[in-house]
C-alpha cells in the first residue's frame, strides 16, 4: 500500500477501521483479493510477480499491511519482496514475537513500514525507525515515510477518516475520501529524492500517472462483536471501477487468542 488511514480503538462499535490505497505500476500482475487456496484462513490480494501481498486479514483476527519507505538511493535489486512481511505478520503464531524478529532483520529488505494487528495490539515496524512500536488508541496515517508524518495527503486522510467514523458502517465515505486526486501545493511537497514532477503526482491520495496509479482501495471494518467486513474496490488505468471483492465473516475469538464469548451479534 502507499496510503493507509486507520482508527484503532476509537469507534465504540468498530475497534479497527482501515482504509488504504495501493499504488503500483499497472503492468505489474496481481490477483484480486480472495481466500487463498493454500491458506484458507487468509483473505488478501496477491502480487503475482513476487508472491506476497500488500494487505490482508485472517479468519483468526489478524490484519497486516505494508508500505514502501520512499528513498530511491536505498533501493536494491537483490532483496526479498516486502510483501512477504505481510504474510509473516498474518500467519505467524505470535504477532509481537514476529514483529520483533522482522525488526531485527529489517536490513534484508528495501525500506518499509509494516503495520499489523491481532485485536490486542496494533504495532508498526519501520525499517527507518527503532524496533517495534505498540500504538496507543487513535486515528493514524501511514504512507511512504514514518507513521503520522505530516505530509498533506496523510493529514487529509486522517482528518477524512475521523469525520467518516460517524457514518459507519457505510463504506462509501471512506472510499470517496481516498479518491481525492488533487495534488498538494508545491510549497507543501516532501523531498524524497524523486523529481518535482513525480512529487506532485504522488502527493494526492488517488494517483493518476502514466503507467502508474492507484490500483485498489481497501476498507476493513472489524466490529466489537467479531464481525469483519473486507471490501476491495479495484481501479483501472483510467481511474474507473474495475472489479470488487466484498466479504463479511466472523472472527471466532476477538481479540485473537481471547476466550470465546459465545454467539456473535449480526454486523450492523
DSSP state at residue 74: G
CATH code of the domain containing 53: 3.60.60.10
pLDDT tens digit string along 64-96?
A: 999 999 999 999 998 999 999 999 999 999 999
With respect to residue 55, please indicate whether it lies within any of the assigned structural domains. Answer: yes
Burial of 2 (0-12, 13-18, 19+ CB in 10 A): buried
The answer as to whether 259 is a domain residue is no
State phi, psi for 132 to the nearest 5 degrees: -110, 130
User: Looking at per-residue confidence, does 254 or 186 come out higher?
Assistant: 186
- Domain encompassing residue 162: 3-250
Task: Report how many domains make up the chain.
Answer: 1
The Cα 175–Cα 166 span in angstroms is 15
Q: What is the spatial distance between Cα 182 and Cα 207, in angstroms, rounded to a whole number?
A: 9
pLDDT at 131: 86
Across 250-265, average pLDDT: 59
Query: 20 Cβ partners below 8 Å, 6+ apart?
Result: 1, 3, 4, 5, 55, 65, 178, 217, 218
pLDDT value of position 252 = 87
Per-residue pLDDT band for 253 (boundaries 50, 70, 90) equals: confident
Q: pLDDT exceeding 70 applies to what percent of the chain?
A: 95
Average pLDDT rounded to a whole number, residues 233-246: 97
pLDDT of residue 254: 74
Using alpha carbons, select from 204, 222, 209 the residue that is nearest to residue 267: 222
CA 245 to the chain's CA centroid? 16
CA distance 41 to 35: 7
pLDDT at 130: 85
pLDDT at 238: 96
Radius of gyration of the chain (CA): 17
To the nearest whole percent, how much of the chain has pLDDT over 90? 91
Q: Using an 8 Å Cβ cutoff, are 114 and 81 in contact?
A: no
pLDDT of residue 268: 31
| Partners of 157 in beta bridges | none
Residue 69 lies in a domain: yes
Q: What is residue 50's DSSP assignment?
A: T
Q: Residue 257 domain-assigned?
A: no
Query: What would the mean pLDDT of 52-66 be, rounded to a whole number?
Result: 97
Reported confidence tier of residue 21, pLDDT bands at 50, 70, 90: very high
Report the pLDDT value the prediction gives residue 30, as an integer from 0 to 100.
97
> Looking at the domain assignment, is residue 263 inside a domain?
no
Q: Across 51-170, where does the E strand assignment appear?
A: 55-58, 63-68, 112-117, 122-126, 132-134, 138-142
Cell, residue 76: 536494491
Copy the grid coordinates of residue 266: 449480526
Residue 264 domain-assigned (yes or no): no
pLDDT of residue 265: 32
Q: Report the pLDDT value the prediction gives residue 258, as an integer from 0 to 100.
A: 59
User: C-alpha distances in angstroms, 115 versus 6, 8, 66, 205?
Assistant: 10, 12, 6, 19
- Average predicted confidence (pLDDT) for the chain: 93
User: Comparing C-alpha atoms, which of 123, 234, 263, 105 is closest to residue 175?
Assistant: 234
Q: How many residues does the chain have?
A: 268
267 assigned to some structural domain: no
31, pLDDT greater than 80? yes
Checking if the pLDDT of 54 tops 70, the result is yes
Amino acid at each position: 500500500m502507499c496510503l493507509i488511514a486507520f482508527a484503532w480503538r476509537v469507534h465504540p462499535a468498530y475497534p479497527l477501521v482501515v482504509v488504504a490505497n495501493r499504488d503500483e505500476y499497472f503492468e505489474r500482475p496481481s490477483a484480486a483479493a480472495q481466500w487463498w487456496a493454500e491458506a484458507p484462513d487468509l483473505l488478501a490480494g496477491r502480487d503475482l510477480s513476487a508472491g506476497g501481498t500488500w494487505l490482508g486479514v485472517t479468519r483468526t483476527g489478524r490484519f497486516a499491511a505494508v508500505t514502501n519507505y520512499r528513498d530511491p538511493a536505498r533501493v536494491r535489486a537483490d532483496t526479498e519482496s516486502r510483501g512477504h512481511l505481510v504474510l509473516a505478520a498474518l500467519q505467524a503464531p505470535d504477532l509481537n514475537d514476529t514483529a520483533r524478529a522482522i525488526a531485527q532483520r529489517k536490513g534484508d529488505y528495501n525500506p518499509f513500514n509494516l503495520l499489523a494487528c491481532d485485536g490486542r495490539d496494533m504495532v508498526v515496524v519501520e525499517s527507518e525507525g527503532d524496533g517495534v512500536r505498540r500504538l496507543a488508541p487513535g486515528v493514524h496515517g501511514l504512507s511512504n515515510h514514518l507513521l503520522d508524518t505530516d505530509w498533506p495527503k496523510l493529514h487529509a486522510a486522517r482528518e477524512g477518516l475521523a469525520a467518516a467514523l460517524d457514518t459507519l458502517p457505510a463504506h462509501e465515505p471512506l472510499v470517496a475520501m481516498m479518491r481525492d486526486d488533487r495534488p498538494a501545493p508545491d510549497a507543501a511537497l516532501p523531498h524524497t529524492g524523486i523529481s518535482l514532477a513525480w512529487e506532485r503526482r504522488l502527493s494526492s491520495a488517488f494517483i493518476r500517472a502514466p503507467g502508474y496509479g492507484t490500483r485498489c482501495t481497501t476498507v476493513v471494518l472489524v466490529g466489537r462483536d467479531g464481525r469483519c467486513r473486507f471490501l476491495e474496490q479495484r481501479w483501472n488505468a483510467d481511474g474507473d471501477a474495475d472489479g470488487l471483492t466484498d466479504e463479511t465473516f466472523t472472527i471466532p475469538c476477538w481479540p485473537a487468542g481471547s476466550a470465546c464469548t459465545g454467539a456473535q451479534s449480526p454486523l450492523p
